[in-house]
Amino acid sequence: KLTKDADQMQGKSNALMLLPPTVAAGETLDVQVLHAGVRQMWMNEVFKEMNINGYLKLSWKDRRLRWDVSEWKTDTLSIKSFGRLWVPDINSDKHQTGQQSSDYVTFQSLSTNNNGNVTGRLEFRIQAHCEIDYTEYPSDIKHCCFNLQSTLYKRYIKFYLENEDEHLDTSQLKTNWKIENSWVKKGTQDGDNKADMLEICVTARRRSTTLAVELTLPVLISALLLLIAPFFGKFDQQIKVKMFALLLQFMSFQFMADKTPQLGFGSTVPKIYVFYAFTLAVTVVSLIITVLIAAMSRIKRKVPPAHRFTLLASVLNANLCCGSEEEPVTDGTSSKDASADWLQIHAALNNIVSCVTMIIYVIGAIAIVF
């Protein structure tokens, strides 16, 4: 009966299935967005696309679906096949241009009441292009957006949001991404400010605790070795510890390179890479300085240093609690052998450099992390 009435109303056969509910010229169809949600998300790191499965609950009025409750004895009607009823042609904005596009949009759970109000759930699977911020890698942030719009009835279909600040429902979402922000906004199509579209955006942060531990733990251990190296005592022991820390850093860096996305990070340098490079640079500089000071301390000197320098070195070595050197063994035949005094000065110099290195490294690490 509704089909026959619609055919008579619009003067064409199969009008309820093929034609929009419009009789007069210039009319528009108000499509209201009642609810929006996301069920699944997975990332394509190579093409920087986020595959999003979700839905929109929509409502619009179709005057052809009105009936008398006293005649039909019901005020609601479920439509099991949306092919029997005209629905708004809402598709991805890539629908016409992407021949190989895997975007998928379909209506489900259509129902109407006796006043002609139609509600339905628009299910979609969209490949959303993402802008990626790798600064906090491996907790990188993806900002992904896509548009839904009408192709055949651009100016006829008008979208309205029930809430201006509409957010996506993520209560059913199961993924390793943390949704930090999401929204549905009404906009206009490119090149036609009278044609409406819906912009759907998701800002997600990767949740990968195991990967973060794998990347940070080795460099933290090597950084700890760098900081405590002066407390190992002699120059040769400090050099060996710093060389081991350097080896560990190179191995850690190679492991991290294997975890890098296939196409790299673009123009962004992640903080963890900056931290690795900073730790490596400080280790190399500290190692070079220690080697040079150790080399100078082995030179036999006959001229003693100034007395004030000897006293200052003794005070520093007694209070800095860093490395210390055993006094060289002399045969006692020469009263001019001042190697012991010079050794204490070199040890004090190495202690000062070690303390300054610790301070610079700690301040730099804090600045990089925060």
One domain, residues 37 and 143: yes
Nearest-angstrom CA–CA distance, 101 and 313 = 74
Mean pLDDT of the region 56-63: 90
| Helices 209-228 and 235-258, axial angle in degrees (round to 10) | 160
One domain, residues 273 and 284: yes
Query: Per residue in 262-282, is it b (16+ CB within 10 Å) or e — as a string?
Result: eeebeeeebbbbebbebbbeb
End of a domain among 173, 207, 241? 207
End of a domain among 174, 189, 207? 207
Q: What is the pLDDT confidence band of residue 334, given thresholds at 50, 70 and 90?
A: low
Pick the more confident residue, 6 or 117. 117
DSSP letters, 159-227, are EEESSTT---B-TT--SSEEEEEEEEEEEEETTEEEEEEEEEEEEEEE--HHHHHHHHHHHHHHHHHHH
Lowest mean per-residue pLDDT among 154-158, 311-315, 341-345? 311-315
Report pLDDT for 323: 54
Kindly tell me if the per-residue pLDDT of 19 is higher than 60: yes
Nearest-angstrom CA–CA distance, 244 and 222 = 8
Contact 144, 128 (CB under 8 A): yes
Residue 34's domain is classified under what CATH number?
2.70.170.10
One domain, residues 145 and 9: yes
Nearest-angstrom CA–CA distance, 57 and 162 = 11
Contact 101, 95 (CB under 8 A): yes
Report pLDDT for 333: 53
Nearest-angstrom CA–CA distance, 8 and 2 = 10
One domain, residues 331 and 234: yes
Pick the more confident residue, 192 or 98. 192
Maximum CA extent, the chain: 128
Report pLDDT for 199: 92
One domain, residues 268 and 332: yes
One domain, residues 171 and 233: no
How far is residue 51 from each of residues 39, 104, 123, 368, measured CA to CA in Å? Answer: 11, 11, 13, 33
Which residue range(s) make up the domain with 235? Answer: 210-369
Element (H, E) at 228: helix 209-228
Lowest mean per-residue pLDDT among 94-103, 238-247, 303-312, 316-325? 94-103
Nearest-angstrom CA–CA distance, 178 and 269 = 22
Pick the more confident residue, 269 or 267. 269
Number of domains in the chain: 2
Pick the more confident residue, 362 or 82. 362
Nearest-angstrom CA–CA distance, 324 and 232 = 9
> Phi, psi (5° rounding) for residue 12?
-140, 155
One domain, residues 215 and 280: yes
Kindly tell me if the per-residue pLDDT of 352 is higher than 60: yes
Mean pLDDT of the chain: 83
Report pLDDT for 99: 47
One domain, residues 248 and 281: yes
Contact 60, 28 (CB under 8 A): no
Alpha carbon of residue 48 to chain centroid: 12
- The whole model's pTM is what? 0.74
What number of residues does the chain have?
370
Report pLDDT for 322: 58
Kindly tell me if the per-residue pLDDT of 363 is higher than 90: yes
188-245 tens-digit pLDDT: 888 888 889 999 999 999 888 888 888 888 888 888 988 888 888 788 889 999 999 9
One domain, residues 336 and 304: yes
One domain, residues 201 and 55: yes
End of a domain among 154, 189, 207? 207
Kindly tell me if the per-residue pLDDT of 127 is higher than 70: yes
One domain, residues 227 and 335: yes
Kindly tell me if the per-residue pLDDT of 95 is higher than 80: no
One domain, residues 49 and 183: yes
